[in-house]
Amino acid sequence: MNLTKEIKDLEDSAVELTITIPKKEVSNGYQELLAKYAKSAQIPGFRKGHVPVAVLERKFGESIKTEAAADLIEKSLEETFKKDDVKQPLPYVQPQLDKMPEVIIGKDLKFTVKYDVMPQVTVQDFSGITVAVPQVSVGDAEIQEELKAVQERNALVIDRKDDDAAEKDNIATIDYCELTDDGSVIDGTKREDFVFTIGSGENIFELDDDIIGMKKGETKDVTKKYKKTHKNAELAGTTKKIRVTLKALKIRNLPELDDELAQDVNEKFKTLDDLKADIKRNLESALENKLKEIKSNSLVEQLVEKNPITLPKSMIDIELESRWRMMAHQFQTTPEQLEKLFGSSGKTKPEIIKEWEPDAVKGLKARLIVDHLLKENNITVTPEDVEAEYKTMAEKAGITVDEVKKHYEDPRNKEYLIDDMKEQKLYADLFGKIKLTKGEKKSFSDLFKNQA
């Protein structure tokens, strides 16, 4: 088609595209459609395929013109978006027609669509960016903490007596549900056979202290009030009435810290010192990765502040919906059931989504900036780079290169690795353009706790 195009930038990374289809193309499209229907139309008084065009036009002319317009619009958009001279719509949006144009034979057909496009990203300002790197080391305290965790993982777990009261560090199995003010169970809130260690805080409602003292088979209702500053946004400022039943209670018998335990952990360890050395190596690797993450996040956050990006609404909406579905997956439920679950506790999906939006916007802008810089700096990873990374990973983990490679036989895992290697190359280059300073001293545990 010999189309005429006009494009106009709108707010929020949207555009308005106006296309004019020449009158000859309009006439041809209409005539082709008429001919098609003439071959198949069945109208009383005429044999199939022998309906005069004039009769078709008289009875169905307007609807055929509308269909011809739709076909012409679809074909012209398809042709237009194949070319590089027009901004492409985001892959998950459909261009919206301003209004259906009227087909007038002998005249051009003009229509307008609006759609969201990829935001324009420019990263020019690196001035004044300073990243403070926390001062953290791996010492004996951290190694001892990990050894304790090894003991717990290799502990013999036995049942406590039925009349024993629950204590800190016991392993509890509970059923729980939320209640209304009158004591009725709220639909969708029941959870059965939930297992956790008392005192760990690894349960959504923080029931540890409430379970201490309970005995197997005992049920009680507890009322929990959560501060407005609570770390869990869904609990912050709320009051929950919860019914909990203690179904089982177990205790761990910890093994001795000796060479035998080390050998039980892995046959590659001959002594406890071998195990300690491996723990130290893993902790130092984790620390290195965490510090990289902190530096990278701080750098990108500052780049987002210094280089404004206007996000289209559709991009934000898709991201928020993705986060909602991810939360549903974490709760092992459907997105629809998750909405009912929160609705019963007084929070609607739109309210929760609204709370998430600032963080989602920040994350999207950060991703766009990183992708832009990767492309602008032509960051690539060669097969030789990947082989070298395999070797480094093997040395840090204390395993063979073949063991590392086995994990990356899955193409998706290898793709994630290459993407991460590209980003690390980029950050290494960017850190040379900014100022890195020594941050405050922190313990290993506080670093991971505060940066989680």
pLDDT per residue rounded down to tens, the chain (452 residues): 789 999 999 999 999 999 999 999 999 999 988 888 877 777 777 777 667 778 778 888 888 899 999 999 999 999 999 987 889 999 988 999 999 998 898 999 999 999 999 999 999 877 789 999 999 999 999 999 999 999 989 999 999 999 999 999 999 999 999 999 999 999 999 999 999 999 998 888 999 999 999 999 999 999 999 999 988 888 989 999 999 999 999 998 999 999 999 999 999 899 999 999 999 999 999 999 999 999 999 999 999 999 999 999 999 999 999 999 999 998 889 999 999 888 877 789 999 999 999 999 999 999 999 999 999 999 999 999 999 999 999 988 878 999 999 999 999 999 999 999 999 999 999 998 899 999 999 999 899 875 44
Same fold, 4-116 and 156-253: no
Q: Residues of 205-241 as b/e, b for ≥16 C-beta within 10 angstroms?
A: bebbebbeebebeeeeebeeebeeeeeeeebeebebb
**Longest Cα–Cα distance in the chain:** 100
Would you list the domain boundaries of the chain? 4-116, 130-138+271-450, 156-253
Contact criterion met (CB below 8 Å) for 198 and 235: no
CATH architecture of the domain formed by 130-138+271-450: Orthogonal Bundle (1.10)
Strand partners of residue 132: 437
CATH of 4-116, one of 2.30.29.30, 3.90.1260.10, 3.30.70.1050, 3.30.420.40: 3.30.70.1050
Q: Among 414, 435, 311, 290, which Cα is nearest to 366's?
A: 311
Tens digits of per-residue pLDDT, 115-142? 999 999 999 877 789 999 999 999 999 9
Q: How far apart are CA 288 and CA 77, in angstroms?
A: 50
Tokens at residue 70, please? 């739709």
What is the token pair recorded at 451? 């940066």
9-20 burial, b if ≥16 CB within 10 A, otherwise e? Answer: eeeebbbebebb
Distance from the Cα of residue 144 to its chain's centroid: 35
**Alpha-carbon torsion, ordered 176, 182, 184, 187, to 10 deg:** -90
Q: Which residue's entry shows tokens 């969708």?
A: 188
Backbone angles phi, psi at 385, to 5 degrees: -65, -40
The fold adopted by the segment(s) 156-253 is Chitinase A; domain 3 (3.10.50)
CA distance 102 to 109: 8
- Record the pTM: 0.69
Per-residue pLDDT of 377-420, as tens digits, reads 999 999 999 999 999 999 888 789 999 999 999 999 999 999 99
Q: Is-contact 249 259, C-beta < 8 A?
A: no
